[in-house]
Amino acid sequence: MENKAVLLEIIESTAIITFNRPERYNAVNHDFIEGINYVFSVIKNDDNIRAVVLTGNGKGFCAGADLTTMGTLSAEDSRDYIIDNYKPILNNFLSLRKPIIGAINGTAAGVGAAFALACDFRVMSNESSLLYAFINIGLGPDGGASWLLSRQVGYSKALEIATSGKRVMGEDCLKLGLTNKLVENHQILSVAKDWAKELSLKPTVGVGITKHDMIFSLNNDLLDTIEFEAKEQVAAFHSEDLKEGVSAFLEKRKANFKGK
Q: Does the 204-251 domain belong in CATH 4.10.1060?
A: no
Rounded to two decimals, what is the model's pTM?
Answer: 0.92
First to last CA, the chain: 27
| Residue 222 to residue 229: CA distance in whole angstroms | 10
Average pLDDT, integer, range 201-210: 93
Q: How many CB atoms lie within 10 A of CB 8?
A: 19
**Cβ-count burial of 185 within 10 angstroms (0-12 exposed, 13-18 middle, 19+ buried)?**
middle
Mind listing the pLDDT tens digit for each residue in 134-144? Answer: 999 999 999 99
Q: Which fold has domain 6-200?
A: 2-enoyl-CoA Hydratase; Chain A, domain 1 (3.90.226)
Domain ranges, ordered by start, for the chain: 6-200, 204-251
The tens digit of pLDDT for each residue in 4-59 reads 999 999 999 999 999 999 999 999 999 999 999 999 999 999 999 999 999 999 99
At 28, is the secondary structure helix, strand, or coil? strand
